[in-house]
Amino acid sequence: MTMAPFTQLQVFLVVARLRSFSGAARELGVSTAAVSQAVRQLEEQLRVVLLTRTTRSVSLTDTGRRLLEGAGPAVGQTLATLREVAAQPGEAVGRVRLTVLTAAVPYVITPVLPTFRARHPRVEVEVVIEDRLVDIVEEGYDAGIRLSEAIERDMVQARLTDAFRFVVVGSPGYLARHGTPQRPEDLLKHECITFRSQTTGTLYPWELERGRKSWRVPVRGGVVTNDIHLPAALAEADVGLAYAFEPAVEARLRTGKLVRVLEAYAPTVPGFFLYHPSRAQRSGPLRLFVEAARELAVKAV
């Protein structure tokens, strides 16, 4: 059996509710003849009689009543949902789902989201904070925010911040007791607060560089974490040395609670980038979020 056209069903439901073809025509903004024809076509397709018509009244048959009771609420809910999701001229409607590196949150998400939501109140933004490598296509994300080194080459990238450094830091108290490392290999003699990768499960070697030479030092210590904020806090408490995203420890460095060591070996990374598959450019909400992020993200982290 051919499915009843939605428009004809809508017309029938209005006639059934008002018990009037002319009243339905006025509500729908069409002619009475058009209303009558739509109901007749629906009855022909269903091979049933839905309405009993006289010159003075319209009444429902048992079949018509069953259709009204069964389809009426569902059609009403469907129409309400269509009105809810429909965009007005110039209005964006939809969702953007993002996977975001923890360190990027205060520089990209916090400054961008308030303004973006004010501009586009009908775009829902889901932000998942995680420090593992993510296949954004397989896991259903629209875009990600990461360091460039963690982004696949086939992704479209948009720079959001300036470059910044990673630095080795320690407290004045720790350095007074244990000495200050002068070369990357000296770190092997120190208590280092280590970071375990959420992607590989292995301890992250501290990456250092000077000129064209680079080091990956397999540091060790009595504390292992997968949280990027804990090492700096423990370093401040004299527990050991920490490898830190420099903007995140700037306040502690400024007040002297932490001190940079091996600064001449501090590596520079290009910054945070928003990335997405090329086909995702067709998404209006994502395009608008990229524009807002490029405008509002904190550039000099």
What ranges do the domains of the chain cover?
6-85, 94-162+270-296, 164-269
Choosing among 3.30.390.30, 1.10.3720.10, 2.60.40.10, 1.10.10.10, the CATH entry for 6-85 is 1.10.10.10
Q: Do the domains 94-162+270-296 and 164-269 sit in the same CATH topology, yes or no? A: yes
Which stretch of DSSP H or E encloses residue 27?
Answer: helix 21-28
d(CA 187, CA 203): 15
What does each of the 301 residues of the chain score in pLDDT, given as a tens digit? 344 577 888 888 888 888 888 888 888 888 989 998 999 998 888 889 998 887 677 888 988 888 888 887 777 676 656 555 555 656 778 899 999 999 999 999 999 999 999 999 999 999 999 999 899 988 889 999 999 988 988 899 999 999 999 999 999 999 999 999 999 999 999 999 999 998 889 999 999 999 999 999 999 999 999 999 999 999 999 999 999 999 999 999 999 999 999 999 999 999 999 999 886 556 789 999 999 999 999 988 8
Query: Quick check: 122 and 92 in contact, CB under 8 A?
Result: yes
**pLDDT of 161:** 96
d(CA 270, CA 287): 23
Class of domain 94-162+270-296: alpha beta
| pTM beyond 0.85, yes or no | no
Instruction: Tell me the CA distances in angstroms from 35 to 2, 23, 191, one per residue in order.
Output: 20, 10, 83
Instruction: Tell me the CA distances in angstroms from 168 to 16, 254, 279, one per residue in order.
Output: 76, 15, 40
Place of tokens 């375990």: 196
**pLDDT of 2:** 40
Q: Which residues contact 50 (CB under 8 A, 6 or more apart)?
A: 12, 16, 39, 42, 43, 60, 61, 63, 64, 67
d(CA 88, CA 193): 53
d(CA 298, CA 106): 8
For residue 132, the SS3 value is: coil
Q: Which candidate, 46, 83, 88, places its Cα nearest to that of 67?
A: 46
164-269 belongs to CATH 3.40.190.290: yes
d(CA 137, CA 3): 35
Query: Quick check: 260 and 167 in contact, CB under 8 A?
Result: yes
d(CA 204, CA 202): 6
Q: Which residues contact 251 (CB under 8 A, 6 or more apart)?
A: none
Q: Which residues contact 183 (CB under 8 A, 6 or more apart)?
A: 262
The gap from C-alpha 229 to its chain's centroid, in whole angstroms, comes to 22
Which stretch of DSSP H or E encloses residue 124?
Answer: strand 123-129
The vertex-78 CA angle with 72 and 81, nearest 5°, equals: 140
**pLDDT of 120:** 94
**pLDDT of 3:** 41
